[in-house]
Structure formats: C-alpha cells, structure tokens
Amino acid sequence: MPKILHYWKEALDEALEKNHSKTVSLRAVRKKIYIPRATLQFKLKNPTSKSGFGTTPFLTKQEENSIEEWLIKMAHKGFPRKSDDVLDTVQKFLTENPRETPFVNNRPEQGWLKAFLKRHPTLTQKTSEGVTKASACLAECDIKKWFQEIRNYRTSENLLDVVQDPRWVFNNR
C-alpha cells in the first residue's frame, strides 16, 4: 500500500518560499517538509493556481465577508436569518452584479450554503427541526432574554431614546 503524505498549505508556502530564496534546494525542501515532488513542481510552474478542493467560489472573499458581517449584525439585533434569506440575498446580489455562475436564476442551492458556512465557521446553522422545537418550547425566560438582547443592542448603538420618544410608538388599531 502506498504511503500517503499529508501537508498543510503553510508547509507548501514555506517550501516554495525556501525554494524561491534559493537558500535550500528543491530536493532538500521536499525531504524536510515531505511534500511530493510533483506538487512542488506544479506550484512552481503555476503559482496562481487555486489551492484546495472544489470549485472556485463565485463571490469574492470581500463579498462573502460582507454577507457574514450582515448575518452577524442581524442576529445581534435579534433577527437571525434563515437559510432561504441568505440564498435570496445572494440571488439579489448576483442579479444586480452579473457574472457567470452555475446557479439557476442566480440562486445558489443548499450545497453552496453548506460550503459558505464551512468557509465562515463563526456562523452556525440551526436546522428547521431545531427551530420548530425551539418555537414550540418558547418559555417566558426566552422572551425576557430576547428583550434583554434588544435592550443591549440599543444601548450599544446609542438608540435608547428611540423607545422613549412617543413619536416612535405606532398602533394599528
């Protein structure tokens, strides 16, 4: 059975740097860091080639980071987004900023969302089953906690006076 070598992107970058600086020969780098010769040669000939598996993301890192920030802000405000909200937002963005994608009508599917969440581990996804269970088991303490989170957000954003001003009270009777 052939020996399988595992290496990290950092190790590959280190090997390429050492080779570029001519401090160590390619053979010595390869033996020290245990990276296959073919991999090193390919990366030397194709330095801009993509690292990693899967297709290239259709949104730039900056665009994905903006979506991540939006999701975090919405959750912080007490309005967590559902997966359909994220997919709708990306669809709207891609429609307004045309580019070639494999998505039907510029709408990504659940597979894209799963990969997006992997690329942004600070985000978590609750399953619809988990949301249903949470909704069915809503207790008084949960409601108080939600109001406290909203109060904390208003305090952090200096918006406490909004609820004090009677002009902001609406009644649809």
* The pLDDT value given to residue 55: 63
Is the pLDDT at 122 greater than 70? The verdict is: yes
pLDDT digits (tens, 9 = 90+) for 126-169: 644 444 333 445 577 778 888 888 888 888 888 877 777 777 76
| pLDDT (average), residues 45-60 | 69
* The pLDDT value given to residue 150: 83
Pairwise CA distance, residues 151 & 77, whole Å: 9
* The pLDDT value given to residue 9: 66
Task: Please name the helix (run of DSSP H) or strand (run of DSSP E) that holds residue 66, with its range, or none.
Answer: helix 61-76
pLDDT digits (tens, 9 = 90+) for 87-105: 999 999 999 998 888 889 9
Is the pLDDT at 53 greater than 60? The verdict is: no
Q: Domain residues of the chain, as ranges?
A: 9-45, 61-130, 138-168
- Which structure tokens are listed for 44? 């030397």
CA-closest candidate to residue 92, choices 59, 116, 119: 59
Q: Could you tell me the CA-to-CA distances from 85 to 11, 61, 161 in Å, in that order? A: 39, 20, 30
- pTM for the model: 0.50
